[in-house]
Amino acid sequence: GESVGLHLPTLSVQEGDNSIINCAYSNSASDYFIWYKQESGKGPQFIIDIRSNMDKRQGQRVTVLLNKTVKHLSLQIAATQPGDSAVYFCAENNGGDKIIFGKGTRLHILP
Amino acid sequence: EAQVTQNPRYLITVTGKKLTVTCSQNMNHEYMSWYRQDPGLGLRQIYYSMNVEVTDKGDVPEGYKVSRKEKRNFPLILESPSPNQTSLYFCASSFMVNTEAFFGQGTRLTVV
């Protein structure tokens, strides 16, 4: 089975608020983590990644936090906009040849 | 423009009729992979390739074949499709396994 999972399948957030999407992983050997955004009818698109030698990384309006102690990953989106509506996937690589995806969280933006 | 191109985008076929879904990338990436996406199951890796002539099974390889004769192309072959292979398929490429991947637009396959 998959070692990467998500706490909530659906998340509804008010426009302008911050969104936090969570992800749990079970393989302590994983050393690379990545977030993708998938809009309806499209392929996944890269958002941000982080390696295990870091615990935080920031991009434009997005921040990824990695807590290796509890094997938890989160994606924070600041000032959520309607265009942020999508399914978000976390994925991990354990140093081997495969990438394992979580099942995804759907983010709904409320007006 | 950097891109991963899959064809066809939509395909309806009958059980047992061999088909190939093509995938091509123009970024000189070494790592390529195929995923299937099913409701509630997320993306599951079918096969991957570390480089030319190097392919290996992912998590759900049964019923599929791939080849990597050239760096840019990574076709997915279904020798004898069955209804349980009805799914949305994505090809992806990246420089290495642990770098950003670029995905194609997807191929929606229906096997009747």
Q: Is B56 in CB contact (< 8 Å) with chain A?
A: yes
pLDDT at A6: 43
pLDDT in tens, A49-96: 999 999 999 999 999 999 999 999 999 999 999 999 999 999 999 888
Instruction: Give B90's contacts in chain A (Cβ within 8 Å).
Output: 43-44
Residue type at B45 in one-letter notation: Q
Query: Any residues with CB less than 8 A from the CB of B1 and at least 6 apart, and which?
Result: none
Q: Do A101 and B102 touch (CB under 8 A)?
A: no
pLDDT for A8 beyond 70:
no
pLDDT at A26 (0 to 100): 81
**Cβ atoms of A51 and A31 closer than 8 Å:** yes
Residue A110 token pair? 């409320």
The percentage of chain A sitting over the pLDDT mark of 70, rounded to a whole number, equals 93
CA distance A43 to chain B (A): 5
Closest CA to A21 of A75, A86, A79: A75
* Cβ-based contacts of A101 with chain B (< 8 Å): 35, 42-45
**Nearest chain B CA: its distance from A86 CA (Å):** 14
Alpha-carbon span A92 to A90, nearest angstrom: 7
pLDDT tens figures, B69-91: 999 999 999 999 999 999 999 99
Question: Hey, how many other C-beta atoms are within 10 angstroms of the C-beta on B25?
Answer: 21
Using a CB-CB cut-off of 8 Å, the residues of chain B touching A95 are 98
For the cut 60, the answer to whether the pLDDT of residue A3 exceeds it is: no
Asked if the Cβ–Cβ distance from B106 to A43 is below 8 Å, we say yes
